[in-house]
Amino acid sequence: MNKNHRIFYLDFIRVIAIFLVVFIHVSAIDTTLNVGSGQWQITKILNYFAHISVPVFFMISGSLLLNSKKTTSLSYTWKKRIPHVAIPFIMWSVISPIVVGIYAHSLSLTNVISSVKTILYQPTSPTLWFMYPLVGIYILSPVIRTFVEHASNEMLIYVTGIWLVTCSLLPSLAVMLPKDYTKILTLSPVANFFLVGGFTGYFILGYLLTKLNVEKTNNLILLIIFLIAGFGGNFISEAVPRIFDSSNGYYVTSIYIPIMSVAAFILLQKWGSKIKSNTTIKTFEFLSPLVFGVYLIHNLLILFIEPWFMNHVAIHGLAATFLRYVVVLVLSIIIIWILNWIPGINYLLTGNSKKRK
């Protein structure tokens, strides 16, 4: 697989992932309405399947950063890579409480400052939680790159295996045991595998998948694995709500999501590699640089668009969900595309420093 082809399939996966992220947040309210109905079940399972998006983002980062020789440079990491994600994160952390204040008619300098003061402790907008592990992984990336550069595939499989068992399998089994027996499979906090814990496992896994010959994997088997893990995980999340808590840790601690994510990543990698249409390639290459900005802004648009649609549009159920979804997605893309044309602002708010062509 040549370099340009490899880069395109990552653009392809990245764009699909942001489409799924936006769907998660647009459909979130619909998973709390008309509980038990057929449309609720469909929305909930679609929402659950879309949760591959966050792991896939970390896997894309691993594919790119851990394959780059620049990653071992501390100077490059701190002067180029970290500011690229940290500066837009900080800017939107300030913008978010301002927008929320306007929405709630309670905007004040005191409230904004109070919210921003806690930025190291908690996100000023719920969706910005993703930035905390992302920045942390960027900081660790020179260390991880040094390790993977000298590690065999066998060693990488060993490391990701430790991550999968300790961070996903054991926690998933533990919450499915009777409450009095949960601690049997719960590791002591001092036994945490920090460098292969949390989202770092996805980061290394993304790199590992670029080293393995995944093109020979059977698409049907991958699809079956994806569907079984998805439907199984959705069922368990209803039967045992503890496996799907509100801390976003379920992306790691629920064994079903890593399984789904790996199967989906390989499938998308293979499908993206086979795309030959010049129009399709140009479309995804146009959208790819906008993805980070769309992630940062879309939840603020939902804040205004969701109640407006529910109060003024006489469409309900799945049709309403997808209508809101399309509007939020399109507006997010347009706004970020416009911001990318403004020198200085483009870097501060989207991480992109070059004018769009």
pLDDT tens column, 194-205: 566 789 999 999
Average pLDDT for 225-232: 95
pLDDT at 191: 63
pLDDT given at position 355: 54
Residue, of 126 and 353, whose pLDDT is higher? 126
Check whether 33 has a pLDDT greater than 90.
no
Non-local CB neighbours of 305 within 8 Å, separated by 6+ positions = 324, 327, 328, 331
> Given this model, what pLDDT does residue 301 score?
95
Q: Which of 46-60, 231-245, 247-261, 300-314 has the lowest mean pLDDT?
A: 231-245
pLDDT in tens, 271-295: 999 999 999 999 999 999 999 999 9
